[in-house]
Chain A
Amino acid sequence: MAEEGESPQETLISSLPPKMQHSFFGRIFRPLFEESKTLTGIMTWLGVTILIGFIFVAVAAPFIAPYDPEDIFVGERNESPSIDHIMGTDRLGRDLLSRVLWGSRTSLLIMLAAVSTALSAGLPLGLFSGYVGGRIDRALVVIMDSIYSFPGILLAIALSIALGKGILNISLAITVIYIPLYFRVIRNHVISVKQELYVEAARALGASRWTIIRSYITLNVIISIPVLLSINAADAVLTAAGLSFLGFGLEEPIADWGLDLGRGQPFLTVGVWWTSFFPGLMIIILTAGLSMLGEGLNDLINPLLRKERS
């Protein structure tokens, strides 16, 4: 039975079996529904909406784009926005709106590939380093910190020289920059969780090293991953766009925001602003949405911040 004054969401959550309330998803979605009226909650939901919007556009691009992104309208080069071409046309006479819509597909693909590889390398490394401790841990920290202190775009440029262009290679080049981020956060989290009483208790009860890592540490540490993921995703989109802008990312005729922006740059001086403006605007909306999601989740999930606020 729902208690008086509970919102429908709370009723929904409290009617879940206790196990699910405390599960990974329960811990994320509970505060998300509970605090949907607070500022942080609104910000988080705005971020979620933006992300879902872009996923929808990326999936539905072939159906909602008015033209093929690679179709060239001869004699309609650098046309300013009009009814036929809402965002205008680019230097080759391609419809910019269609390219921008298709570009969300490219961005999300790179984001997905880069973030998941960085996570799958950084998470185990961080868990291992934090749990083992000692000299290996110290060495790994110094190495990771050094890589992290190096300008990311330069590392990505160097990697893309070595690896070549294309979505997969670019994602890989970006991945390497972000492994230290996951490593650092996960490792520090592990170090603090390791000293908790319940881990001590598990060890005293004779739990094996593997059990402790899997059931006690990992399950506690993964709660910080959604926050990391969304912040990292925003960064990955920006870095990929930067690489493409500099000419080391993707190659024509792929519809990509950074690439379109960079190729439009020379025409800015003759007043062609739309080829730079709209792709950049898309980057900002997507990354701002991801950042709001990350920041909001951090406030909602992070138990220390929660305690402080109440």
Chain B
Amino acid sequence: MGRTSSLSAYIVTRLILSLPMLIILLTVVFLVLRVLPGDPISAIYGGRAPLEVVERARAQLGLDKPLIVQYFDFMRAILVEPFARLLHLQAPTPDLGYSLKYTGQTVWSRVITVLPGTIELTIFGMLVAIMIGTVTGMVAGSRRDTPVDVGLRMYGIVAYVIPIFWLGLMLQLVFALWLGWLPPNGRMSGEFPKFRTGLYTIDSLLEGDLTKFLDAVSHLILPALALGIVISGLFTRIIRVNMLTTMRSDFVEAARARGIKERVVIYKHAFKNAMIPVITVMGLQFALLFSGAVLTEKTFNWPGMGTRLLTAITERDFPVVQGAIIVYAIMVVIASLAIDIINAFVDPRIKY
């Protein structure tokens, strides 16, 4: 069997294995929002709405049905409905119902329009984290127990525990308010580029409009730094530990014995191998990344899934609240699947 065919078999296996994960996550969401003793509808109305308003909202959402019926309706709408729509030659989207606040709008459209904002933020945040994390981790790991190592280890610990929102506010204060170098919040000051991917940096480049591109990038810098610096703390620690282990391994020793310069040993031999486990760990950090993104979005008033979820909660729009959380769950599953597949390509030791 060739490598390609077994790789696709591996991908199919991973795809099938991610289904239970999705089902479990959806069940958890269902349990939390519908089964727990507290009732989201009355909680969301803050106990101030008249009984018939609450009752009407519950009936409209099917929350007056028996729980088991609700559960199967819920699962069917998310897992089966996309395929049913595909058969009718429609876009294969889950059925998340309609917004209570914005009548006529589907929850899916409310959520999906702000998804690119979150994706753009997390990609750039991740880039910042990887850049800072690899440099600091590599330097610390190759200079074990020196003052530089101690300092960078402290950086790793402290950066990771800085509350993202605090760092974001301080960055805003210094770079937007005091120095006036960068815009304090939002995604664009000027005109939006035409919606193609929804990632404004890419859309503006596709348009060939440099002003819009710079506008988009200048808005991205501070949020991406806030998100990236905090996550870089974790990367520093992981890469440092991996470097320490790799630096002691036989092939590094052998390279040194052959008289290869220490710099080359560190960069070409140790570092490349130390990075492989990092990809796996990165895959586990999507939870952290999305959590961080919610807080960053709120801090920078960044239009994304997190801000949409938070506004939906204040607007008492329960279907959108539920829908946003479901979309997050779907994204987590897709992200971990993607990392698994990337890993299979990068790491020759993975058997499939």
Contact = CB atoms under 8 A, between A and B. Distances in A.
Interface of A: 39, 142-143, 145-155, 157-159, 161-164, 234, 238, 241-242, 245-248, 258, 261-262, 265, 268-269, 271, 273, 276-277, 280, 283-284, 287-288, 290-292, 295
Interface in B40-93: 40, 43-44
Contacts of B309: 154, 157
Contact of A271 (B21, B40, B177, B332): B177
Given A150-B28, A151-B328, A291 B169 contact: no
Given A161-B43, A287-B161, A276 B21 contact: no
Nearest to B293: A151
A261 B145 contact: no
7 closest pairs, A vs B, by CB? A280-B166, A287-B161, A151-B290, A146-B24, A162-B38, A162-B36, A153-B291
B4 to A, nearest CB: 29
A283 B108 CA distance: 37
A130 to B, nearest CB: 20
A154 B297 CA distance: 13
Contacts of B184: 269
A147 B32 CA distance: 12
Given A153-B294, A158-B29, 5 more contacts: A148-B287, A162-B32, A242-B165, A261-B169, A291-B157
Contact of B40 (A39, A143, A161, A265): A161
Interface of B: 20-21, 24-25, 28-29, 32-33, 36-40, 43-44, 145, 150, 157-158, 160-166, 169-170, 172-173, 177, 184, 284, 286-288, 290-291, 294-295, 298-299, 309-310, 313, 321, 325, 328-329, 332, 336
A170 B309 CA distance: 19
Nearest to A142: B20
A231 B166 CA distance: 20
Nearest to A273: B173
Interface centre among A152, A154, A159, A271 (most CB of B within 10 A): A154
Contacts of A159: 32, 36
B28 A246 contact: no
Contacts of B164: 242
Contacts of A290: 161
A196 to B, nearest CB: 24
Contacts of B162: 280, 284
Contacts of B166: 261, 276-277, 280, 283-284
Contact of B161 (A147, A273, A288): A288
Given A162-B40, A284-B162, A152 B24 contact: no
Given A146-B25, A153-B295, A284 B163 contact: yes
Given A150-B25, A271-B177, A245 B165 contact: yes
B21 A163 contact: no
A210 B169 CA distance: 53
A120 B44 CA distance: 31
B250 to A, nearest CB: 16
Given A143-B24, A238-B163, A269 B177 contact: yes
A149 B295 contact: no
Contact of B21 (A146, A154, A283, A287): A146
27 contacts: A142-B24, A146-B28, A149-B25, A150-B28, A150-B329, A151-B286, A152-B288, A153-B295, A158-B33, A159-B36, A161-B38, A162-B36, A162-B37, A162-B38, A162-B39, A163-B37, A245-B163, A245-B295, A247-B310, A268-B169, A269-B177, A269-B184, A280-B162, A280-B163, A280-B165, A284-B161, A291-B160
A150 B166 CA distance: 23
Given A146-B28, A149-B284, A161-B40, A246 B298 contact: yes
A290 to B, nearest CB: 8
B43 A242 contact: no
A39 B145 CA distance: 8
A143 B184 CA distance: 41
A268 B328 CA distance: 30
Nearest to A276: B169
A271 B178 CA distance: 9
Contacts of A268: 169, 172-173, 177
